[in-house]
Structures are given as C-alpha cells and as structure tokens.
Structure 1
C-alpha cells in the first residue's frame, strides 16, 4: 500500500492541506479527550489602500489560545497596534471559554513585548554549540486570561 501513497503536496496547496490535517486531527482528538471550543482566530489591520499592515493568527483548543503569528509593519511598531491585536485576541478567546494563552518566539524584542503584556516563559528550546544558527533559542511563553 505504501508504494502508491503520495507524500508531497504542491506548494500552492500547503495552506489548504494544513487546514485539512488540523480539522482531521481535532476531529480524532475530540473522541479521546474532553475539549473546549476549537476555533481559528485571524485579525488584521489594513491601510487605506488595502495593504496589510498588521495581523494575528491563532487557534483555540483545550481552553488555551495559541498565538501562532503576530506581525506588525516596521513603521507601526511601537504605536500600540500589536498590543491592540493581542488584547482583542485574548478577549475573543476569553469569550469562548479560554483560561490561558501561549505562544513562542525566537526574537528577543518580541519576547520583551510579550513580557510587558503579562506573558512569562515556561520553556526554552536552544541550539547546542556548533549547531546552526549558533546561539539561536526559542522561548515558549504563557499568560492566564
């Protein structure tokens, strides 16, 4: 059977296939574990020309909001846009029963930003000496909602 299986997808289908995998996984898990609301959360801000200038993507599961992506255009950093996006995501998560939020980052400035919002480290993944990129680490952070 494995000789006829395809293990690659065209790049153009990655987002669609990822969403399908996630739907199937969540459906499988729902039969095994008690869950809170599983939902996707996408927030964005656009300029008057319709260009994306900031956005957040996340999901909820088991009472937790996972902030997968947060991006703010360089020209808007430090203006409060990121804080507003995070606050809105957290409020929406609380409204559907989430009790906490978590995320990960490998950017020290982003880590400092999240710490100002009340997030704290709960894990660290770092490269061993000699592994590229040397000194790279990723912080896992959480916050009670």
Structure 2
C-alpha cells in the first residue's frame, strides 16, 4: 500500500526536482518533443552580489519562464529586460518557437506586455474567494 505525505524542510527542493525529472523522462519516452532543458540565468552586481536571475525550462518547443527576480537596487535599470532577452535567445537556440509565463502582479504584466507578451488566459477569484479579486494572467510570445 502506498502512503502520501507532505514533504517540508530541506529535502523538499530535492524531491521536487526528482519528481520533475521523472515526469520529463516519462513524457520524453511517450511523446516526440524538442529539448527538455532547465535554464538558470544569474546577473551579478559589480561587487559579486546577486542582482537578479531567471529560471526557465523548455518542453514541446516552448520556453516556460518560471521565475524572474531583480533586486530592488537594480529595478528600472533594464536588467529584467536583459534577463528576458537572454532567456528568449537561449530558448531559440534550443529550438523553441514560443515562450510563455504567468504572473499575478499587474506591474509585471505591463512589463511583459512591453516585451511583446500577450494574454492567452487567466484565473480570477470571485468576490467570495480569497484573496478576493486576485487574478493570474497567462501570457505567451512567438520567438
């Protein structure tokens, strides 16, 4: 008999990676697809500290932007745009024809729109659902 448990603590991240690797391996065996790659881009400040970064993955010809973060000290400097452009270039190099992402931040949505991303769906909470009025936009762009 199997047992289901919620994992917490330091082993959680390793387990999440193992689950994702197993899923990608199973999908690759069952379906024709392009490269399944994970991307981590790091932006370092002059002093060597982390200024920003981006994580992404590729699957079925799509680049999925998972996370984009820019430190407060580097916001508005163009670093976010540079990270996105670098990820898109890497996606093209790996054979991706499009990129997609999701965000629940209205300012981030505007930022992605300026980069050419368009909405293709959303999830919205109703007035009686917490947090009320929350919206998550799904966006895509041809590469």
TM category (shorter chain) comes to: over 0.9
- 1:103 aligns to what? 101
Question: Of 6, 28, 35, which residue of structure 2 is paired with 1:8?
Answer: 6
- 2:57 aligns to what? 59
Shift of 1:103: 0.2
Question: Of 31, 37, 40, which residue of structure 1 is paired with 2:38?
Answer: 40
Which sections of structure 1, spanning at least 5 residues, go unmatched?
A: none
Indicate the SS of the match to 2:39.
Answer: strand
- Please report the TM-score for the alignment, with normalisation by the length of structure 1: 0.94
46-55 vs 33-42, which moves further:
46-55
For residues 76 and 127 of structure 1, the distance between their equivalents in structure 2, rounded to whole angstroms, comes to 32
For residues 4 and 102 of structure 2, the distance between their equivalents in structure 1, rounded to whole angstroms, comes to 32
- 1:137 aligns to what? 135
- Please report the TM-score for the alignment, with normalisation by the length of structure 2: 0.95
Which sections of structure 2, spanning at least 5 residues, go unmatched?
A: none
For residues 31 and 59 of structure 1, the distance between their equivalents in structure 2, rounded to whole angstroms, comes to 18
For residues 142 and 15 of structure 1, the distance between their equivalents in structure 2, rounded to whole angstroms, comes to 27
Matched residues, number: 143
For residues 10 and 137 of structure 1, the distance between their equivalents in structure 2, rounded to whole angstroms, comes to 27
For residues 135 and 9 of structure 1, the distance between their equivalents in structure 2, rounded to whole angstroms, comes to 30
